Amino acid sequence: MDLLHSQLRIIQNRLSFVATEPINWKLYVQAFAWSVTFFESYLLIRQYPLYSKTAPPEVLAEHFDPGVFEKSQRYGKDKAKFALFSGFYKQLVESLLLQYGFNAWSWSAAGKLIAKFGYGPEYQILQSVAFVFIMFFVSSLPTMPLQAYGTFVLEEKHGFNKTTPKLFITDLLKGWGLAFVLGAPFLAVFLYIFQWAGDRFVPWLMGFMISFQLIMVILYPTVIQPFFNKLSPLADGELRTRIESLAGKLKFPLKHLYEIDGSKRSSHSNAYFFGLPWSKHIVIFDTLIQQSKPEEVEAVLAHELGHWYYLHPTKLMVISQLHTFAVLALFPAFLHAPPVLRSFDFPKEVAAQPPTIVAFLLFQMILTPFESVVSICMNAISRNYEYAADRFAVELQDMVHDEKMSDMGDRLGRALISLHVKNLSTVWVDWLYSAYHHSHPTLTERLKGLESFQARRQKKAQ
C-alpha cells in the first residue's frame, strides 16, 4: 500500500503546477467542448449523404420489402438532422451555463437551501448532495423539450413510439426519485471516504465503487427494473426449451429467464443477460419475440452467451476499473487547487478550501479530451468482442457436439438482418462515423465476419 501511495505522490508532484499557476481552465474546457461538438457535427455531415442512396448493399437487397429501405433512409436522415441540431443546442446551453457561473451559483444556492433547515457550511457533505441535485435538475430543464421531441415526434413519425405522455412524465419522475434515493447515499459515502482517508483515498474509493457496482447488479433486477418495466417468466414453449437447453449445454448458470414488456415504450427490440457469476438472468424483449422466429432468437442468445463464455463483461469491468483508477490517481492535484475554482467563478472564500465535489466536477470537465479518446478505444475493444461472440455462435456446434447447432451462424445472420430491417436501422455507414459512435460493427461488417468464420470452420472440418 505504501508503494502505491508513493507512486501516486510522484504523479501529484508532477501536477503541482495546477495548484499554483492561474491557468484559464474555463477557456480550456470551452474550447475542447466545442471542438468535440464540431467534430461530431463533421461526422454527421460525412454520414448524411449516405441516407440519399437509393438501394441497400447488394448482400441485403433481397431482404428489404418494397419501400422498407426508403423508410429506413428517411428515418436515418431525420435522426441525423435531429442529432445535429440537438448536439449544437446542448453544447450551447452547457457553454452558457459554464460561462455565466452556473456551477458557482449552484454551490451558493445549495448553501442557502440547507441553511433554511439550520445547517451551515460545516455540513459540506449535505451541501454537496444539494449542490449535485440542484445542478442536475436545473441543467436538465432546457433539454427536456428535446426528449419530448425525440419520443413524440421523431419516433412517433416512424412508427416506433409506444410511450404515452403520462408514461413519459411518470418515467421522468421515477428517474428523478431513484436518482435521489440511490444517488444521495452513494454521494455521501463517496465524499466521506475523502474526509476519512485524506490524500490516501484512491484504494478505499476503488473498493467502495466496486462494491457499489456489485450491489447494483443485485438491486437492479429486483428493485429498480420493476419501476419501469414488467419482467415476466418466459412462457413455456419452443423458445424457452431452446434457451434452457443451450444454457445447460454451456453450463451457463441461468437462474431466471424473463420476457420484458419493451413494447410498452417502443417497437425496438433487444436481449441481454446480467447477474453475479454464479446466478445469471436472461431478459428478452417481447418485441424481439414478436419480430423473430424462435431459432433466430436462440441464435441472438448464443451470441450473448459468447460474451459470457469469453468473459467479456468481466474484462470490460476490469478495463473500466483501470480507467477509474487512472482518473482518481490524477485527481489529488486538482483537489487542493484554488486557481481552478477561481477560473470557474467561485468566490475566494470557497476556492481557498475547495469542496471535494466541486473540485471533482471541474476535474471531470477538464478531462473531456481524455475521455473522448477513451470512448473511441472502448468502442474498438467492444467491436472486437462482438466479432468474437459472433465467432462463438458459428463454432457452437463444435463445442456442444450438437448437429442442430450447425446452422447457428446462418441463423444469427438472418436474425441480425431481420432486426435491422424491422428497426429501420441504417445499413450504409461511414467508417469514421462508425468508429467514433458505434460499439458494434455495422451489419455488413458482421455478415462478412460470419461468412469468414463459417468458411474457416468448414476448412478445418475438411
| Average pLDDT of the residues in 314-321 | 91
| Average pLDDT of the residues in 131-154 | 94
| Average pLDDT of the residues in 22-48 | 94
> Looking at residue 358, what is its pLDDT?
94
| Strand, helix or coil for residue 158 | coil
| Average pLDDT of the residues in 456-461 | 80
| Average pLDDT of the residues in 306-314 | 93
Q: How far is CA 112 from CA 119, 182, 259, in A?
A: 9, 24, 47
CB atoms within 10 A of CB 286: 18
Q: What end-to-end distance do the CA atoms of the chain give, in Å?
A: 55
- Give the span between the Cα atoms of 355 and 121, in whole angstroms: 10
Query: Shortest CA distance to 270 belongs to which of 286, 246, 254, 294?
Result: 286
Q: How far is CA 61 from CA 153, 342, 378, in A?
A: 29, 59, 32
| Average pLDDT of the residues in 68-76 | 92
Q: Give the sheet arrangement for strand 231-233, strand by strand.
A: 231-233, 254-260, 279-285, 271-276
Cβ(322)–Cβ(189) under 8 Å? no
- Give the span between the Cα atoms of 26 and 410, in whole angstroms: 53
Answer yes or no: is pLDDT of 138 > 90: yes
How does pLDDT run across 319-337, given as a tens digit for each residue? Answer: 999 999 888 888 888 888 8
**Residues in the chain, how many?**
462
How does pLDDT run across 258-282, given as a tens digit for each residue? Answer: 888 877 777 777 888 888 788 888 8
Residue with cell 425496438: 268
Query: Shortest CA distance to 274 belongs to which of 342, 208, 219, 356?
Result: 219
- Give the span between the Cα atoms of 56 and 165, in whole angstroms: 35
> Looking at residue 11, what is its pLDDT?
67
Q: How far is CA 326 from CA 137, 185, 250, 381, in A?
A: 29, 24, 36, 18
Q: Where are the alpha helices (DSSP H) in 198-311?
A: 201-219, 238-250, 286-291, 294-309
Answer yes or no: is pLDDT of 461 > 80: no
How does pLDDT run across 436-449, given as a tens digit for each residue? Answer: 999 999 999 999 99
> Highest mean pLDDT: which of 26-40, 200-214, 329-343?
26-40
For residue 403, what is its C-alpha cell?
448437429
- Give the span between the Cα atoms of 453 and 396, in whole angstroms: 12
State the pLDDT confidence band at 369, using cuts at 50, 70 and 90. Answer: confident
Q: Is 2 a catalytic residue?
A: no
| Average pLDDT of the residues in 403-428 | 88
- Give the span between the Cα atoms of 351 and 297, in whole angstroms: 56
Q: Is 304 a catalytic residue?
A: yes
Cβ(412)–Cβ(302) under 8 Å? yes
Tell me which of 304, 386, 395, 430 is the catalytic residue.
304
Q: Is 423 or 193 the better-scoring residue by pLDDT?
A: 193
Query: Shortest CA distance to 327 belongs to which of 358, 360, 354?
Result: 360
Q: Is the pTM of this model over 0.85?
A: yes
- Give the span between the Cα atoms of 418 and 64, in whole angstroms: 9
- Give the span between the Cα atoms of 368 and 220, in whole angstroms: 29
DSSP conformation class of 235: P
> Looking at residue 162, what is its pLDDT?
86
Work out the mean pLDDT of the chain and round it to a whole number: 89
Q: Under 8 Å CB-to-CB from 351, ≥6 apart: which residues?
A: 338, 339, 341, 342
> Looking at residue 355, what is its pLDDT?
94
| Strand, helix or coil for residue 330 | helix
Query: Shortest CA distance to 193 belongs to which of 178, 207, 172?
Result: 207
Tell me which of 296, 386, 390, 395 is the catalytic residue.
390
| Average pLDDT of the residues in 17-43 | 90
State the pLDDT confidence band at 288, using cuts at 50, 70 and 90. Answer: confident
Residue with cell 462482438: 386
How does pLDDT run across 148-201, given as a tens digit for each residue? Answer: 999 999 999 998 888 899 989 998 998 899 889 999 999 999 999 999 988 788
